[in-house]
Amino acid sequence: MKELKVEIELNIRFSDTDAMGVVWHGNYLRFFEDAREAFGNSFDLRYLDMYNEGYFTPIVKSEINHKAPLYYGDKVKAIAHFHPSPAAKLIFEYEIINLTSKSLSATGKTVQIFLNAKDRTLELNKPDFIKEWESKMKLNN
């Protein structure tokens, strides 16, 4: 099966840190989001495209495993791996690598579902546009 992933580089800003000078734990979700957005831009699966198809894709599960701290001034690589699912879900796994110290800073995972944008009901089956996208990406072989 084809692997779909994206890697982006980020700079740790002063506003990312807490009173101890360490990146605040909640910002890792933002790094995941930045990588997921880059994924959508790279593989034609943008949030606005999904919205224009009539769907919201809220996160229903998120996990972060903190391995080593990040500090103001560090450069990091955020990697998002897409994991195809037979269910109507978008599943991503992440790695946050500290390029300054050459260490793995965090790993994680998110799960998103499809909600009908009009009435916010759960879509139990994959939307057609997702099936078409998976076919285009050669994920359903």
Question: Which domains, ranges and CATH numbers included, belong to the chain?
Answer: 4-136 (3.10.129.10)
pTM of the predicted model as reported, rounded to 2 decimal places: 0.93
Beta-strand pair 55-56/59-66: unpaired
pLDDT of 128: 95
Structure confidence by residue, pLDDT tens digits, 12-63:
999 999 999 999 999 999 999 999 999 999 999 999 999 999 999 999 999 9
CA–CA separation, 113 vs 117, rounded Å? 12
Q: Please report the pLDDT score of residue 1 as a whole number.
A: 55
Structure tokens at 130: 């997702």
If you search the block for the tokens 């990588």, which residue do you land on?
35
Q: Tell me the pLDDT tens digit for each residue of 74-115.
A: 999 999 999 999 999 999 999 999 999 999 999 999 999 999
Q: Is the dihedral of CA 89, 51, 37, 140 positive or negative?
A: positive
Give residues with Cβ within 8 angstroms of 122, minimum separation 6.
Answer: 113, 114, 115, 116
